[in-house]
């Protein structure tokens, strides 16, 4: 049974967090500061006021454009804010305790990594490594996985994709798999345990193949696949499967 007050708090917190994460996704790959200076319009440079920065609602009321110059506001802001709000609402609504906070953080970080990988084929250590660390800390309240299973999951997840990456490089003489993917899978193992890894890989592989086929990129020579995004998307379905079969 969902707790409505906790869900509301989680949704509001998620929208606020999502506002920051959307800015991070847009600025970080460009080498622009996320923490320094006040937010400003990318079109005219006007410093944004409080009414311009209300998650979800500001862009809606302004019809997706800057009040001063009319420049379009990147729709990524609203999309990330809305998804983070849903993640927060569901996490806190169903688990109004430290476990719910853990699931919310887990979901917010995975969403950020998925978008970064989709847009830039980039899984920064500054996100994957803290995600792994949190799996051994607040993750203890979120999932009932033992420390041993978490440790095995972290090592096996990272080791499996590292071995594939090194093997591909040895055979083909070039990189075919980024180590960011290996670190992400290791982080997922730290949260969900080694038992979830086969399902994560299966779901991610099948989903990735289907998406690439639909996009017509499966047969393209040298086509890049954002494996990290598919790993992130596979985490929750894999966890649900593990809960049902174990």
- Among candidate residues 84, 85, 87, 179, the one with its CA nearest the CA of residue 129: 179
- Do 178 and 129 belong together in one domain? yes
Domain-located, residue 113: no
Indicate whether this model's pTM tops 0.85.
Answer: yes
Positive/negative CA dihedral, 159, 174, 227, 183: positive
| pLDDT score at 177 | 79
DSSP code string of the chain: ---HHHHHHHHHHHHHHHHHHHHHHHHGGGT--SSSS--B-TTT-PBP-GGG-STTHHHHHTTTB-TTT-PBPPTHHHHHHHHHHHHHHHHHHH-TTHHHHHHHHHHHHHHHHHHHHHHHS---HHHHHHHHHHHTTTHHHH----HHHHHHHHHHHHHHHHHHHHHHHHHHSS--S-HHHHHHHHHHHHHH-GGGHHHHHHHHHHHHHHHHHHTT-TTSTT----HHHHHHHHHHHHHHHHHHH-
Contact 112, 24 (CB under 8 A): yes
The 10s digit of each residue's pLDDT in 15-30 is 999 999 999 998 899 8
In a domain, 139, yes or no: yes
Read off the pLDDT of residues 97-125 as tens digits, 9 standing for 90 and up. 999 999 999 999 999 999 999 999 999 99
C-beta of residue 111 within 8 angstroms of C-beta of residue 20: no
Confirm whether 82 is domain-assigned.
yes
Are 153 and 71 part of one and the same domain? no
Instruction: Give the pLDDT confidence of 36-75 residue by residue, as tens digits.
Output: 666 665 656 556 655 656 677 666 667 667 666 666 677 8
For the four alpha carbons of 235, 10, 139 and 128, in that order, the dihedral sign comes to: positive
pLDDT computed for residue 45 by the predictor:
56
For the chain, the domain total comes to 2
Range of the domain at 196: 122-246
Q: Which of 96, 113, 140 is the last residue of a domain?
A: 96
Same domain membership, residue 133 and residue 75: no
pLDDT of residue 114: 98
Instruction: Specify the pLDDT at position 245.
Output: 85
Q: Does a structural domain hold residue 87? A: yes
Q: What is the pLDDT of residues 168-220, one digit of tens each?
A: 788 877 776 789 999 999 999 999 999 999 999 999 999 998 988 887 765 66
What is the band of 246 on the pLDDT scale with cuts at 50, 70, 90?
confident
């Amino acid at each position: 049974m969902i707790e409505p007050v906790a869900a509301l708090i989680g949704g509001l917190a998620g929208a606020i967090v999502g506002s920051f994460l959307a800015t991070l996704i847009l600025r970080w790959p460009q080498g622009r500061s996320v923490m320094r200076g006040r937010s400003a319009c990318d079109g005219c440079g006007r410093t944004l006021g409080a009414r311009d920065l209300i998650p979800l609602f500001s862009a809606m009321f302004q019809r997706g454009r800057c009040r001063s110059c009319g420049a379009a506001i990147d729709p990524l802001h609203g999309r990330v804010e809305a998804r983070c709000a849903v993640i927060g609402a569901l996490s806190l609504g169903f688990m109004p305790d430290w476990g719910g906070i853990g699931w919310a953080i887990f979901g917010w970080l995975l969403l950020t990594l998925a978008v970064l990988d989709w847009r830039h084929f980039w899984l920064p250590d500054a996100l994957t490594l803290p995600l792994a660390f949190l799996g051994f800390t607040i993750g203890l309240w979120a999932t009932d996985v033992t420390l041993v299973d978490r440790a095995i999951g972290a090592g096996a997840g990272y080791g499996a994709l590292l071995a594939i990456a090194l093997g591909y490089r040895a055979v083909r003489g070039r990189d075919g798999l980024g180590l960011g993917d290996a670190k992400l899978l290791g982080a997922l193992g730290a949260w969900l345990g080694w038992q979830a890894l086969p399902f994560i890989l299966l779901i991610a592989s099948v989903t990735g193949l289907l998406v690439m086929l639909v996009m017509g990129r499966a047969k393209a020579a040298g086509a890049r696949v954002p494996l990290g995004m598919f790993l992130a998307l596979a985490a929750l379905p894999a966890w649900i499967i593990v809960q049902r079969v174990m």
